[in-house]
Amino acid sequence: MIRIGYACQTIGIPGTDFKSCILRNADETNLRNIITHNLESLERILDYNISAGIKLFRITSDLIPFGSSPVNKLEWWKLYEEKFALLGDKIRQSNMRVSLHPGQYTVLNSPSEDVVKRAIEDLEYHTKILEALGMDKKNKLVLHIGGAYNDRQEAIQRFINNFRKLGEHLKDRIVLENDDRIFRMEEVLSIGEKVDAPVIFDNLHNNINPSNENYDEIKWINLCQATWKPADGPQKMHYSDQNPNKKPGSHSDTINGETFQDFCLRLNREDIDIMLEVKDKNLSAVKCCNIIAPKPSVKLLEREWSRYKYLVLEKSPKDYNHIRQLLKVKEEYKAVEFYKYLDHAMEQVLVTGNGINAALHVWGYFKKCADEKEKVTFEKKCSYYETGKLSLNGLKKYLWQLSCKYQQSYLLNSYYFKEVM
């Protein structure tokens, strides 16, 4: 079965934020507090992934503040050994696969020895996270080749030389990815074959920085498959859509469901993991999981609808009614059509009257439990919003507070509050 995942953060899931700090505040007490908070957030994300059936996830590189820097002198992998063991158990028991993606400053082919030294330190930090979680070699670190430094072939050879000097524990984790500016697919494949490292195909990077070989993306994916050994786990790739309103390489706000379905039909394989790189993170992951669900059921869409309905009502009453009608037919599974209406609603410009209408529907959950003071406050905030004295988020923050106070679980799980929770 294809596993579909997302990167680093969730949208609309309470208590899943990650904290950091600036250098001057990186004392032991603050570092401990941040690490504790971040591990709790990671646990909530894993719990959410398990409940949503998401089995592929990229852990943020910011999990441990200053994790690869001498500024952080904590032996965090020992201090939090029990917590890491708990998180690792959840990952394994749910058959989830995790990864990390060191950032743009982790450059293994730099002509600067100091930069390479810091890159290796960063790879050690990322590997230590996977080791602390007890993850096997199927859980990887994704790495780009780096810069060209005015001599492409020399830069490639420098990467190969430096990679070969790495410890086996790092080599076993690293997978290589084509990028959108410098190193194209055929170059990364060649490097991967020389250093015996698996290669990831990124479809958007390949579209922007195409190979000299006139291959379609399915051909490239199949060529990359040969670099993955059984010990590396199933082949993995990155999938994203171009944001039409931003510069080339910018990820779209959401994955186009119809395009993704067509891609999977052309791929015609299930022995592959697909990491989505998209602004709405887990929302697109669930969308894509539902679109290619091995056991399609309208209940999957109804579950989605329970989280989206008031957000859709706020943005587009017309699409709200289309979806309601669509879901009345229990015998048909029209996932792509469902998400077309949903995505269309999200693109609409907010109308004040629609915002009030949705807020009144949400307020309906509190009519029997809210006191007179809360009723007056709500009416006043509605009036302020209508006259431009209060933003819609200001109104929704009040409804969120009421949802928390009265433990309205249906609302607490709603994406209606995703901008204010």
Summarised one tens digit per residue, pLDDT across range 172-214 is 999 999 999 999 999 999 999 999 999 999 999 999 999 888 8
Q: Report pLDDT for 220.
A: 96
Q: Report pLDDT for 213.
A: 82
How many Å apart are CA 251 and CA 264, to the nearest integer? 19
**Domains parsed from the chain with CATH numbers:** 3-291 (3.20.20.150), 298-417 (no CATH)
What digits encode the pLDDT tens for the residues 136-180?
999 999 999 999 999 999 999 999 999 999 999 999 999 999 999
What digits encode the pLDDT tens for the residues 316-350?
999 999 999 999 999 999 999 999 999 999 999 99
Reduced to 3 states (helix: H, G, I; strand: E, B; else coil), residue 101 is: coil
Partners of 7 in beta bridges: 58
How many Å apart are CA 230 and CA 209, to the nearest integer? 30
Confidence of residue 258 (pLDDT cuts 50, 70, 90): very high
Is the model's pLDDT at 360 over the cut of 90? yes
Task: Judge contact between 68 and 120, C-beta under 8 A.
Answer: no
Task: Judge contact between 220 and 202, C-beta under 8 A.
Answer: no
Task: Judge contact between 287 and 339, C-beta under 8 A.
Answer: yes
Is the model's pLDDT at 288 over the cut of 90? yes
How many Å apart are CA 255 and CA 288, to the nearest integer? 8
b/e 389-418 (16+ beta carbons within 10 angstroms → b): ebebeebbbbbbebbeeeebeebebbbbbb
End-to-end CA distance of the chain: 34
Is the model's pLDDT at 111 over the cut of 90? yes
pLDDT (average), residues 223-243: 97
How many Å apart are CA 22 and CA 31, to the nearest integer? 11
Confidence of residue 283 (pLDDT cuts 50, 70, 90): very high
Closest among 349, 366, 376 to 400, alpha carbons compared: 366
Q: Report pLDDT for 212.
A: 81
pTM given for the model: 0.94
Q: At what angle do helices 335-346 and 257-267 cross, to 10 degrees?
A: 140
Q: Report pLDDT for 421.
A: 82
Task: Judge contact between 155 and 116, C-beta under 8 A.
Answer: no
Alpha carbon of residue 38 to chain centroid: 16
Cα-only R_g, the chain:
24
- Per the document, the length of the chain is 421
Residue 143, both tokens: 């790495």
Task: Judge contact between 194 and 155, C-beta under 8 A.
Answer: no
Residue 309, both tokens: 């309905």
Report which secondary-structure segment, H or E, holds 275.
strand 272-276
Is the model's pLDDT at 1 over the cut of 90? no
Task: Judge contact between 307 and 282, C-beta under 8 A.
Answer: no
How many Å apart are CA 245 and CA 175, to the nearest integer? 31
